[in-house]
Amino acid sequence: MSSIPKPLKCMIKNLDNGQQVEAYFNPKEVSIDKKVSWNKHKSTKANNPMLEFTDGEPKNFSCELLFDGYETKTNVHAKYVKVLDEFTKIIPAKKRPPMCIFLWGKFPGFMGVLESLSAKYTMFLHDGTPVRATVTIKMTEAEKLAGKKEDAKKETKDGDFEDFSAEGKQATADEARRPDKFDQNHRGVLEKSGSENGQLAPGTVVKRP
């Protein structure tokens, strides 16, 4: 069985409704940042204090995308930016914005939520139609999502959160992800999901046997 093909052009996909935006040009650079929280231990009084780990933090992702529709007179706001903007809006039934994934060839996939979206329009037709835009996106890593705080009491158990690495969802960017996360029949999961190397590649749609 062959692995699921990865796009040569990068794309950002809404995992809640399947919408996706493919970049007109691939980004020149991509940034991924990881912060680890450490605090000075309260009992330490030395010049070189003991540090106490407090909590893990999600990774942060950012990249800049250029959309150019001048030659084809394409409205880049309507075709690209407006769709990306929908990825930041709350889904009424779920009381939260959608889960998204960034995919680009062999680059490690990044799954999470859009933290911010900034669009700069740099070229227009005579009637004001925007035909060139630079869009900066920032994402925060996540595997599970919950709704607003007022629903927290309903979502205290781990199983109550939406798990986007479960069956039928895109696998996360942890390339060594264990197939037993999805089913005890590890080999069956791998075969059904099209894996030939014992791992689930980023963006793989996981299927149970």
pLDDT digits (tens, 9 = 90+) for 124-174: 999 999 999 999 999 999 887 777 655 444 444 444 466 665 555 555 554
- CATH number for the domain running over 1-37+57-142: 2.40.30
Domain positions in the chain are 1-37+57-142, 163-209
Tokens of 99: 């889960």
Output the average pLDDT for the chain: 78
% of the chain at pLDDT higher than 70: 66
Higher pLDDT, 193 or 196: 193
Rounded to an integer, the average pLDDT of 92-96 is: 89
Mean pLDDT of 62-84: 96
